Amino acid sequence: MRIITSKEQLRGRTNTSLGMRKQKVFKLSDNVAMEDTSENSRLLDECRRHWDSLRDFRKRRLRNRKYYRGDQWSDEIPDPNGDGYITEEQYLKNQGKVPLKQNQVRQLVKNLVGQYRSNPSQSVVVARARENAGVSEMLSNALQASHAVNMTKELDAREFEEFSISGAMVQKVGYKYWKERNLEDLYIENVNVNRVFFNSDVADIRLHDLRIIGEIIDTTLEDIISTFAKSTKDESRIKELYSRSVTKDFLALRGLNSNRLDNLDFYIPQDPAKARLYEIWQLKGSWKVYAHDPMDGSYAIVPNTMKEIAIQNSERLRVGLEGGIAQDEIPLIEAEEKFEQSWYVRFLTPSGYTLFEGETPYKHEEHPYAITLYPLLDGEVWGFVEDIIDQQRYINRLVIMMDFIMSASAKGVLMIPEDVIPDNMTPEDYAQEWTRFNGVIVYTPSKTHNQMPTQISANSTNIGISEMLALQMQLMTEISGVHGAIQGKTPGSGTPASLYAQEAQNATVNTLDYMQTFQHFRQKRDTKALKTIVQFYNEPRYLAINGRSLNQDSKLYDPDLVKNMDFDLAITQGTDTPVYRQIIDDTLMKLLETQMIDLEMFLEQTSLPFADKLLAAVKSRKEQLDQGAMPEAMPPELMAQAQQGANPKAMAMAQQFIGKGGPAAGAAASGKYDNL
C-alpha cells in the first residue's frame, strides 16, 4: 500500500484558497524516548474504538465475500457430538458427504459488473459560461489523461465489485511522484474497507456529518523513509521508532490469501516485515483571523492576532500622517475573527509518535478519501450479495439433499435366492454373468418356491426436489433483479424480438439504483481529482490523450487559464458507448454529405479507427499541393485500412469532397486535386 503525499505537501509549502497553512513535519525530539505521546495515544485509542464499532460491518462483509468466492459452507452450527461449534462443511464431511455448492452469487455479481463495463462513461468538465468552453475542454483532457495513467477503468470495476459485496466504496485521491514517468502526478487507489475507520454514527448519505476518517497502513520501512525523511537524521529516527516492530527477514509462508485482512489487528500487523502507520484526518474547529489588506487586495487567514493587526494599523496611520496622507485615505487592514472548522491530518506510528501533521493541504479543503455508503438506511450498510445469500443457501441445501437421497437409494440392486445359485458359481460370478452382454446362467429351480432373481431400482428423485430447486432459482432471479433477459439467456420459443428487448430494458430498472449510486461516487471522486489537478499542475504540460480535440490549444494544459475557476465548472458523465459513437459518426456523415463541414473537420471529430492517419495524410497532401509539389501516392496499407473500416458511402463521399468540393473546388476543376 502506498502513502499518497507530495513533496510540497510534506514540506509544508502548499497554498490553499485562504492562504498559507501551517504544517509540521517531524516534531520528534533528538531523543525519541523523551517525546510526549500521550495526546497521540488518546487519539489512536479513539480511532481504535471507531474501528471496533465497524466490526459487525466487517463480519457481514466477510460472510458476503465468502459466499461470493464460493466458500458457502463456513457458517458455524452447534456440534451435535459436543458443546462447541463446527462449520457446516465439517458437519457434512462427518456425515461422509462432499459439501457441494452451486455458486449463483458470483454469476449475478459478474453480470452487474458486466453491465457497468458495457456502458462506459467518462467524466467531462462542463463550463457554465460559454466563453470558458475551451478551458473546460482542457480540464476534461487533463482529467481523462490522469484516468488513463491511473487505469481507473480497472480500479472502478474492482470498486464496483466491492460495492456489490459490502455496500461501501472508498478510494483515495492524492498527488505523488511516479517513478515510471519521472514526474509528480495525480494518484488514485482503492482502499480496502477493512483498513478504514470513521465515526460510525453517520446518517447523511452525502456524509456531511463525517468528523474523523483514517486508514491503517502496512507498508515497507523504506517507503516510510522515502516519504517522510528529509535527512539522514530523520532516517535514523524512523528506524529507531520501528526497530522493535519490523523483522526484515520474515517471509510469509502463505501468499495470495485473505488471512492478513481477515485477522487484521489495529495495533499489530500480520506481516512482521511491514511497518504499521496510521493516517488520521479530523475535522477540528478553532478561532481564526480573516484579514483583508487593501494594499495588495489579499483576503486570507493570517497567523496574527486582532491585537497585532491593530498595532499594524496604528503604524500605518503614523507613517501615512507623517507623509501628509489624509487619514481617510490610508489603507487599513480589515480583520475579523471566525470560528472555522477545517480538516487536520496526522501520520502516527503505533507508539504514538508523529511523522507528519498539519491542516489539509488540498484546495478542496477536505480529506483525500472519496467514500460512499449504501444505502445508509437508518445507519445500516449492506451490499447486493447480502440480499441473495438465503436463496444460495437453500439451493445448496437442496443439492446436498438430492445427493443424500440418491446415494441412499437402491440403484439396480440384484436380489438372488441363495438356492438358485449353481454350485459351480459364487454370488460374485453370478452377478457378473447377470450384467454381461449375452450372458447365460444355468441353474436348477428351487423345489420349494419358483422365485426368479429380481433387480430393484428406486425412483428417489421424483419427490419435489427438482421443483423446489427451480423455485429457488426463480426466486434468486426475482430478488436480485437480474432477470434472464439481461443475462442474455435464450428466450422461449415464439418470443418476439421486440418483447425480449423490452424485457431486457425493463430489467435494467432493477439495477439502476446501483449504477446511479456508483456514478455518484465517481463524480465525488473526480471532483476531488479535478481540484487536485488544478492545485498541483503548476507548470504547462502536454496532454496527449485526445487526438481529435475540438480545440488544439486544449491539448496543452495551461495553469494560468484555470485560476479562480472552481465555482464556474461542474462535472458530468459523458457517454462512451459504441452506440453513442455510431450516432455521432452518422451525424457527422450527414453534415459531410450536405457540405456543412469539410473532410478535415469530419476526420477530426469521427471515432473511426483510421481517422488520425487519414487526416495526417490529407493535410500532408494539401501542403504539398499548396507548395506546387507533386503529392506522393497514398500508402496502400492506409487506403486498405480506410476502405475496411468505413462504409462505402462514407469513402465515396470523402473522395468526392476531396476531388470536387470544399475549399479546393476551383483547383479541382482543373484536375489539380485529382490525385487525392
Cell numbers at residue 50, please?
Answer: 471507531
pLDDT (0 to 100) of residue 297: 84
Cell numbers at residue 178, please?
Answer: 511516479
DSSP 549: -
C-alpha–C-alpha distance, residues 511 and 110, integer Å:
13
Number of Cβ atoms within 10 Å of the Cβ of 310:
14
> Per mean pLDDT, which range of 83-87, 109-113, 357-361, 446-450 is the poorest?
446-450
Find where cell 482503492 sits.
Answer: 190
Residue type for 373, please? Answer: L
Is residue 421 predicted with pLDDT exceeding 70? yes
Q: Where are the domains of the chain?
A: 7-94+168-279+351-378, 286-340, 387-502, 578-669
Q: Answer positive or negative: Cα dihedral of 388, 391, 393, 399.
A: negative
The confidence band for 99, taking pLDDT boundaries of 50, 70 and 90, is very high
For 186, phi and psi rounded to 5 degrees? Answer: -60, 140
Query: Looking at residues 371-394, what average pLDDT do you find?
Result: 95
> Per mean pLDDT, which range of 203-217, 484-498, 506-520 is the poorest?
484-498
C-alpha–C-alpha distance, residues 370 and 188, integer Å:
10
> Per mean pLDDT, which range of 362-376, 410-424, 557-571 is the poorest?
557-571
Is residue 626 predicted with pLDDT exceeding 80? no
pLDDT (0 to 100) of residue 198: 98
Highest mean pLDDT out of 300-304, 364-368, 418-422, 579-583? 364-368
Q: Which helix (H) or strand (E) holds 595?
A: none
> Per mean pLDDT, which range of 248-257, 270-279, 433-442, 490-499 is the poorest?
490-499
C-alpha–C-alpha distance, residues 368 and 525, integer Å:
9
Residues 663 and 626 sit within 8 Å (Cβ to Cβ)? no
pLDDT (0 to 100) of residue 572: 65
Residues 529 and 187 sit within 8 Å (Cβ to Cβ)? no
C-alpha–C-alpha distance, residues 279 and 520, integer Å:
25
Long-range contacts of 485-494 (CB under 8 A, 24+ apart): 486/111, 486/115, 486/511, 487/111
Is residue 475 predicted with pLDDT exceeding 90? no
Q: For 608-620, how does the pLDDT look when each residue is reduced to its tens digit (9 = 90+)?
A: 777 777 877 887 7
Nearest to 372 by CA among 232, 161, 521: 521
Query: Looking at residues 458-483, what average pLDDT do you find?
Result: 76
> Per mean pLDDT, which range of 42-51, 391-400, 484-493 is the poorest?
484-493
Residues 188 and 554 sit within 8 Å (Cβ to Cβ)? no
Is residue 642 predicted with pLDDT exceeding 60? no
Q: For 559-603, how does the pLDDT look when each residue is reduced to its tens digit (9 = 90+)?
A: 988 876 654 456 666 666 666 777 888 888 888 888 888 888 888
Report the percentage of the chain scoring pLDDT > 70: 77
Query: Looking at residues 343-369, what average pLDDT do you find?
Result: 94
For 623, phi and psi rounded to 5 degrees? Answer: -65, -40
More confident residue, 652 or 9: 652
C-alpha–C-alpha distance, residues 641 and 608, integer Å:
11
CA 184 from chain centre, in angstroms, equals 22
pLDDT (0 to 100) of residue 640: 62
pLDDT (0 to 100) of residue 631: 61
Nearest to 340 by CA among 17, 568, 6: 17
Is residue 264 predicted with pLDDT exceeding 90? yes
Number of Cβ atoms within 10 Å of the Cβ of 6:
21
Q: Is the pTM of this model over 0.85?
A: no
> Per mean pLDDT, which range of 12-16, 396-400, 403-407, 503-507 is the poorest?
12-16
Residues 526 and 152 sit within 8 Å (Cβ to Cβ)? no
DSSP 19: E
C-alpha–C-alpha distance, residues 486 and 480, integer Å:
12
The confidence band for 10, taking pLDDT boundaries of 50, 70 and 90, is very low
The confidence band for 669, taking pLDDT boundaries of 50, 70 and 90, is very low
DSSP 352: S
CA 31 from chain centre, in angstroms, equals 43
Q: How far is CA 618 from CA 543, 598, 602, 675, in A?
A: 24, 12, 12, 11
Burial environment of residue 626 by CB neighbours within 10 A (0 to 12, 13 to 18, 19 or more): exposed
Q: For 354-363, how does the pLDDT look when each residue is reduced to its tens digit (9 = 90+)?
A: 999 999 999 8
pLDDT (0 to 100) of residue 460: 59
Average pLDDT, the chain: 81
The confidence band for 545, taking pLDDT boundaries of 50, 70 and 90, is low
To the nearest 10 degrees (0 to 180), the angle between helices 221-228 and 232-241 is 140
Residue type for 248, please? Answer: K
CA atoms within 13 A on the CB side of 437: 0
What are the E-state strand segments in 85-211?
A: 85-87, 121-127, 168-178, 183-190, 196-198
Q: Which helix (H) or strand (E) holds 658?
A: helix 648-660
Give, in degrees to the nearest 5, the angle at Cα 68 between 64 and 71. 90
Residues 271 and 265 sit within 8 Å (Cβ to Cβ)? no
Looking at the DSSP bridge assignments, the partners of residue 20 are: 15
Cell numbers at residue 376, please?
Answer: 445508509
